[in-house]
Structures are given as structure tokens and as C-alpha cells.
Structure 1
Amino acid sequence: MNDWLPWLDRKGRFSSLRAATFALMLVPALWLAFDAWTNQLGSKPWTQAVHDTGTWAVRILVLTLAITPFRRIFDWPKLVGVRRMVGLFVMFYALAHLTLYCIDLAFDWGLIVSEIVKRFYLIVGFTALLGLIALGVTSTDAMIRRLGSANWQRLHNLVYVITGLGLLHFALQSKLDVTQPALMTGLYALLLVYRLMNRLKIPLDTPRLVLAALVTGLLTALCETAWYALTTGVSAWLVFQANFDAFTYGDITFLRPGHWVLLAGLAVALVRAVRAPAQRRPRRERARVPAEAGS
């Protein structure tokens, strides 16, 4: 049973990090259940529940991709221990998203299939869901041994494509207001920048993290501007100018996705500055210390 208890680590010991993560991952489901019980889901409760579970699936998916970069940036190796759990919760909320969609259509399978086939955003979302299921099913140690570590890694690298599909589905179904999809896309881009910096051996120090935040925040604002300009015909300049309203009026309610991505990146840089990992001495030097001390 120890292998199935989410609050225990691989050695069967209680882990406060795993327990807290498990509890936090359950909060959206409990919140949604409370809103449903108290009739706070509006005039179309099933439709609202479909949207809420889909939104949380995307949010947690982006959070999953943040675990590895944060482990490196904050020098926090224990974070890896919750990555699989968080990833499985993404699949859980995505499957709940599909299940509630089927309930909303009264399990009319003919209608459900026809809706998915004829609507591009549903094809994109369903493809992303199939990818999440494939990743979830193969996330066990047994599947890693069966597939081999190299094949398993290649399969799970598809998470980047799956995330892109999920974000596209999120944006397309949001229609006019793409604030949330733009924010999630910007955060996803920030995480990709962190991974690229690591791949290129660029130090993840505070100044470079600040620069990454500035660049990604600007790119998020430009992408949001392009989306509205291309899909609604609104003047691109007016949309981009809206990003300066927060400074003009000094009101937090005017913050756009680009601002939040910038603030998130700056927060990471600040935590890095406070929690800067100590420079480790080379292994050979550490090995000589006891001998020198005893001589």
C-alpha cells in the first residue's frame, strides 16, 4: 500500500511536501464541488463545470512543467518527487473535463462524436487529452523499465506539444476574452526560456532571470495583441496600448497577461537571489578535506 499512498516518499516515509502537494491538487475539485452544492455555477452548471475543469487542467499542466526548472533555479531536488503526482492530476482534471462535457450533452454519443469531428478546437483538445492519457499510463516505474529509459523520455518529451495543443484549445474556446489563455501561454513561454537557458548552459542567475522575465513579458503582450488584432479586427496599437493603462491609472485591475508574466518572472528572480545555492566545491576537493583535517 505504501506505493499508492501519495503522502509517502519512495522509502515509505511521510513527506510533508508530497502531502501538501496532494492536498493543493484536490482544492480545485473540492471548490468546484462546493460551488455545485451551493448552486453557484450559474444558469448552465454543467457547462460551467466543463470550463472550470478544463481551465484547471491547463493551469496544473503548466505547473507540472515548472517543476524541473524550479528544481534547478532554487536548488530544490525534492521537487522532482512530486512531478509524477502533479502530472497525474493533470490527466484527472482533463478526464473530468471530458466526462462533464459528455454529461452536458446527455451522453448522446452521436452528438458528442459529431461535435468533436466538426469543431476544430474540440479536435485539438481531444488530441491533447489522448496525449495526456498516454503520458499518464506510462508514468509508472514498471512502464519506464518496459519501454526503456530512452524511449520513455522521447515519449514524455511530447508533453511540450501536448501543452501547446492544450493552450490552443483553451484560446479557441475562449472566443473573445483570451486573458487566461494568454497568461498561461506567457508562463509556458517563460518556462521554455528557462529550459533553453539550461540547455545552452546559460547560468540561471538573478540578472539573467530578470532579463528572461522582461523579454517574456513583452512577448506575451505582443502575442495577446496579435491574437486580438487577427481574430477581432481591433487596432493592434490600441490593444498593445492597453498594456500601459496599469501605469497610467495606477490600478492593479488594468494588469494584462504580459504584466503578470513579468511579475512571475521577477518573483522567481527574487527568490533565486534570496535562496541562491551555495557554490559547491569540486568532488575531488571535497574528498581531500577529511584527509587534510586529520593530518
Structure 2
Amino acid sequence: MIDRLAIPLPWLDRAGRLSWLKLAVFAGCVAPALYLAAAYRLDALGAKPITALIHATGEWAVRILLFCLAISPLRRIADWPKVLVVRRMLGVAVMAYAVAHLTLYAVDQNLILTKVASEIALRLYLTIGFVALIGLIALGLTSTDAAIRNLGPNWHRLHRLVYTIAVLALAHYFLQSKIDVTDPVFSAGLFLLLMGWRVMRRFKWPERPWSLLLLALLAGLVTAGLEAAWYGLASGVPASLVLAANLDFSGPIRPAWWVLGIGLLLPVAALVRRPRVPSAGPAPARRPATEARAPRVQEPLSPPA
């Protein structure tokens, strides 16, 4: 009698125990797919349900990718090391939604693969999206423990491509949105916020509440500028009008304010984080220099951040 599954359940930790964090993240990853399936079954996706599914799966791939990139800030700023255990699950979810995105596009083309291939080759935004998808598949297939062992240091080099993939995914998102780029601008603003934090880490700038506040303000301003530049270049709308719309609160709140609001969570997390207090017990005995150290076990990451 087999008492264990060959493939471990995603909500279990390495010891086979239930992880409420992994269970919550797994439910969050699956929920959009279940909602979209139910909406399709109930004919609630409008006149072009397949087109709606194509857009929705692509949007969720970008959203979950941004969640992946937010893992490291959560771990360091909020002092939450356990959050690392869900990074691989999020990475695989990104790949799954991206594959569903392309599959649905093929369905929309009546599964004529030659037509799908020609469209990808001839339309720039489809080419960019396809390259990003290939990258996501490469990261997803190499997110296993065996791949980490076999690739060694090359694994980290490969998975650093996640930043390039994110840029390509956002470019695809912008180009396919055409007229209304509110959601792509918001996603790009969050990406800039997360990359700004990485720049701070790269140059060892202090991660204090005041510096994180400046980062949030800068990300919001750059997001507003990005929106104005896109509309100015793509549709000829004067940048001044787009920037002025950020100060008009009678309509929908512009993406820059949402990015600023989310960015403000960083200094708040730094303020409420309790500093670690060293224990008052005796200092541990020093390990002899000749004693071999046990290898450090690391949760596989997909993608790293």
C-alpha cells in the first residue's frame, strides 16, 4: 500500500506537514483559474469569451510574477524569512498562466498552428510575449531540486533572467493593450518600485523608513511620468493633460497613486518590524576550525529575486 504520493502536495512543507502559508498561496494561485473557468461555464465573459480568457490569463501571469519579485522585500524589510518557501510555487504558477495564455490564443486561432506561428513571427508584441514565455518555461522546468544540483552556479545565472523576462512581459502587456494602458502602467510602476529596492540593496544604501519613503515617492513620480510619456508617444495626448489627471480625484485614481500607496507599505513595515533581541544565554561554543560544516539547505527558488 502506498502511503505517500510520488509528487508532494504543494501545501506541505519538506517534512510533509501542512504549511498554512503554502496552502494560502496555493489557493490564491488557483482561485483566478477557478473563477475564470466558472465565468466561462456560466457565459459571463461577454461576447468574446476566449478573448477575455486570453487577456485575463496574461494579466494574472504578470501579477503573480510581480508577487514573485516582492518575496525578497517581504523577507528582508518585514523580517519574514518563511515567505521564501512559496517562491517556487509562485514561479510555477506564472509559467502555468503564461502557457494557458498562449494555449487560449491558439484556440482563438482555431488551433491552426501555422497561423499561430506566423502571427508570432510577424507581430512584434506577440514575438516579445513568446520570448518571455520561453524564458518562463525554462525557469519553471529548472525549479526542481535536481535541476538546482545539476546546474550548480549556472542555476543562479539562469534564473537572473527573470528580470529580463519581466521587462519583456510588461512590454507585451503595453503593446497589446493599445489604447487603455492603466493596468500595464500600474504593473510597470510596481516593477520599478521592486527594482528600485534592489538598486538600494546593490549599492548598500540604508534601508531605513525615510529611505524607503523616498523610494515610494520616486516610484510614484516615475509611474506618472511613464503614463504621460506613453500616451504622448502612442496617441498624441499632451503629457501635461495626463499629468494633470493625477491631481483630479473626481474620476478613477491614477496608477501612480496606487504605486505610491503600495510603496508606503515598505516604510511602514520597517517601522513596525520588531528588532531582534539577542538572547541572554551563554554564548555557543566555537566550532573547531577542522570540523566540517553541514551543507546549507536552501529552498529552491523560481524565479529568484
Structure 1 residue 271, shift from structure 2 partner: 2.9
- Please state which structure has a larger fraction of its residues in helix: 1
- Structure 2 SS opposite 1:244: coil
Aligned counterpart in structure 1 of residue 243 of structure 2, from 240, 245, 255: 240
State the Cα RMSD in Å. Answer: 1.6
- Aligned amino acid, residue 39 of structure 1: D
1:117 correspondence with 2:108 = no
Matches within 5 A, 1:28-177: 28-148=32-152, 150-177=153-180
- How many residues in Structure 1 have an aligned counterpart in Structure 2? 281
1:6 corresponds to which residue? Answer: 10
2:202 corresponds to which residue? Answer: 199
Structure 1 residue 290, shift from structure 2 partner: 7.9
1:267 corresponds to which residue? Answer: 265
- Structure 1 SS opposite 2:248: helix
2:275 corresponds to which residue? Answer: 278
- Aligned amino acid, residue 75 of structure 1: D
Q: Contact 2:77 / 2:269 at 8 angstroms: preserved in 1?
A: no
Q: Contact 2:246 / 2:253 at 8 angstroms: preserved in 1?
A: yes
Q: Which runs of 5+ in 1 are unaligned?
A: none
* Partner Cα distance (1:191, 1:88) in 2: 20
Structure with more relative contact order (C-alpha pairs < 8 Å, separation 6 or more): 2
Q: Which runs of 5+ in 2 are unaligned?
A: 286-305
- Aligned amino acid, residue 177 of structure 2: S
Structure 1 residue 286, shift from structure 2 partner: 6.5
What TM-score, normalized to structure 2? 0.88
* Partner Cα distance (1:23, 1:110) in 2: 36
- Structure 1 SS opposite 2:204: coil
Structure 1 residue 47, shift from structure 2 partner: 0.8
Structure 1 residue 280, shift from structure 2 partner: 4.9
Deviations, residues 98-125 of structure 1 (Å, cap 9, x unaligned):
1111111110112111111110000000
Q: Contact 1:220 / 1:257 at 8 angstroms: preserved in 2?
A: yes
What TM-score, normalized to structure 1? 0.91
Structure 1 residue 279, shift from structure 2 partner: 4.0
Deviations, residues 72-91 of structure 1 (Å, cap 9, x unaligned):
01000000000000000000
1:179 corresponds to which residue? Answer: 182
Structure 1 residue 272, shift from structure 2 partner: 2.8
Could you tell me the percent identity over the aligned residues?
51
Q: Contact 1:2 / 1:12 at 8 angstroms: preserved in 2?
A: no
- Aligned amino acid, residue 257 of structure 2: H
Structure 1 residue runs of 4+, over 4 Å off?
285-291
Matches within 5 A, 1:11-22: 11-22=15-26
